[in-house]
């Protein structure tokens, strides 16, 4: 059976995905339905059936199926090779930055979908890292074309703020991309969690805490930067990390950042316009 193709776009990057297994194609088409695109792709991802020479032991197969995070990254010049922690000598995929090409062996006829989505996520991380963008684990909302980011650990209230913001548009309740565009920064929804393929100019960043009433405290740029870095995804690659750290420094210089305390009765959006 011939391969099928999808084009997926988020935060200004579009990639063309070539898929050999019909089941994988149907899964990815549903999974990324809000982020499908018709524009010219920036890079390609190939999900192909493994070579006959690639011998996968049952133990390795179960490791990858049950824990996709067991993949490790090995860099050689401008190419990144993926292997399993238990058998690093066996390459099961790569990202070639110079050729804008990525490949992952489709090992699972009956598979966990997270194996593919985790690889796509890593591709986003890497290609954003070489551009004026970086990804962040946070909730993003848009109101009146202005973007607001809410950060915090699990249980801090990111999803709660999203539910309380009925007059705002949800960008994503799990992952966002911050990107430099001209003289400002924009926040984009990413296709993880509940998400829409939309963006807004970044107006403010808020670090959440539960409290009895709503209160905001403006943070110094240095403290805000350290908090953002905690929620950003850094690489083993020092050049990518340097780009991300430089971007974070510029973000906190231009965008106000706040410690935010709130309760379920807090009038969040009544207070937002008064911030400066």
Q: Tell me the average pLDDT across 226-243.
A: 85
The pLDDT assigned to 175 comes to 95
Range with the poorest average pLDDT among 8-22, 184-198, 259-273: 259-273
**Is the CB of residue 138 less than 8 Å from the CB of residue 159?**
no
The pLDDT assigned to 271 comes to 74
**Is the CB of residue 104 less than 8 Å from the CB of residue 116?**
yes
Q: pLDDT, tens digit, for every residue of 65-103?
A: 666 566 777 888 778 988 877 777 778 889 998 899 999
Confidence of residue 236 (pLDDT cuts 50, 70, 90): low
Residues 6+ apart with CB under 8 A from 92: 50, 54, 64, 71, 82, 83, 84, 104, 105, 107
First to last CA, the chain: 58
The pLDDT assigned to 17 comes to 97
Distance in angstroms (rounded) separating the CA atoms of residues 170 and 176 = 11
Q: pLDDT, tens digit, for every residue of 200-228?
A: 999 999 999 888 888 899 999 999 999 99
Q: pLDDT, tens digit, for every residue of 100-152?
A: 999 998 876 665 567 788 889 989 998 998 888 999 999 999 998 999 999 98
Among 107, 76, 70, which residue's Cα sits nearest to residue 92?
107
Confidence of residue 12 (pLDDT cuts 50, 70, 90): very high
Secondary structure element (H or E) that encloses residue 270, with its range? helix 268-271
Domains of the chain (ranges; CATH) run: 4-131 (no CATH), 134-274 (3.90.228.20)
CB atoms within 10 A of CB 125: 21
**Is the CB of residue 272 less than 8 Å from the CB of residue 142?**
no
User: Strand pairing of 169-172 and 139-143?
Assistant: antiparallel
Secondary structure element (H or E) that encloses residue 84, with its range? strand 79-84
Examine the pLDDT at 2 and tell me if it is beyond 80.
yes
Q: pLDDT, tens digit, for every residue of 22-59?
A: 888 999 999 999 999 999 999 999 999 887 777 766 67
The pLDDT assigned to 233 comes to 73
Range with the poorest average pLDDT among 3-17, 45-59, 113-127, 175-189: 45-59
């Amino acid at each position: 059976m011939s391969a099928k193709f999808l084009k997926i776009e988020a935060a200004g990057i579009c990639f063309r995905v070539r898929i050999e297994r019909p089941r994988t194609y149907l899964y990815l088409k549903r999974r990324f339905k809000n982020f499908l695109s018709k524009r010219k792709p920036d890079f390609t991802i190939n999900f192909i059936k493994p070579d006959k020479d690639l011998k996968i032991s049952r133990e390795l197969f179960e490791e990858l199926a049950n824990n996709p995070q067991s993949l490790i990254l090995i860099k050689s010049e401008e190419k990144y090779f993926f292997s399993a922690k238990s058998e690093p000598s066996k390459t099961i995929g790569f990202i070639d930055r110079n050729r804008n090409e990525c490949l992952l062996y489709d090992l699972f006829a009956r598979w966990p979908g997270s194996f593919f989505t985790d690889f796509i996520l890593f591709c986003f991380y890497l290609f954003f890292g070489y551009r004026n963008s970086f990804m962040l684990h946070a909730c993003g909302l848009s109101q009146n074309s202005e973007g607001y980011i809410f950060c915090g650990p699990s249980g801090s209230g990111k999803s709660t703020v999203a539910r309380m913001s009925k007059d705002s548009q949800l960008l994503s309740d799990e992952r966002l991309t911050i990107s430099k565009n001209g003289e400002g920064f924009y926040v984009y929804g990413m296709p993880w969690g509940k998400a829409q393929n939309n963006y807004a100019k970044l107006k403010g960043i808020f670090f959440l805490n539960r409290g009895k009433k709503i209160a905001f405290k403006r943070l110094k740029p240095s403290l805000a930067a350290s908090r953002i870095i905690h929620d950003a995804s850094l690489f083993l690659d020092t050049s990518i990390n340097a780009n991300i750290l430089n971007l974070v420094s510029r973000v906190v210089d231009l965008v106000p950042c706040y410690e935010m305390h709130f309760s379920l009765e807090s009038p969040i959006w009544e207070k937002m316009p008064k911030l400066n």
